[in-house]
Amino acid sequence: METNNTETFAMEAAPFSAVQMMRDIRDQISLETADMTFLQLKEYMQKKLHEQEGNEPDTTTSRA
């Protein structure tokens, strides 16, 4: 059975697994947040979001 070039390329480019990467990230977040209260989790999420944006985290807690 012959394979075309796109099938061969797809098989060769498979070392990166997006599913495995997401599982690893989810597992790491679960370990980091396992014993957090709601407020601690909220602060953690705000800090991570601001890190992505390149801003300093907002240390004030607002109730909305």
* Cα gap 57→51, rounded to integer Å: 7
pTM passes above 0.75: no
* Cα gap 6→13, rounded to integer Å: 10
List the pLDDT tens digit at each of the 64 positions of the chain.
Answer: 555 665 655 556 668 899 999 999 999 999 999 999 999 999 999 999 999 887 655 566 555 5
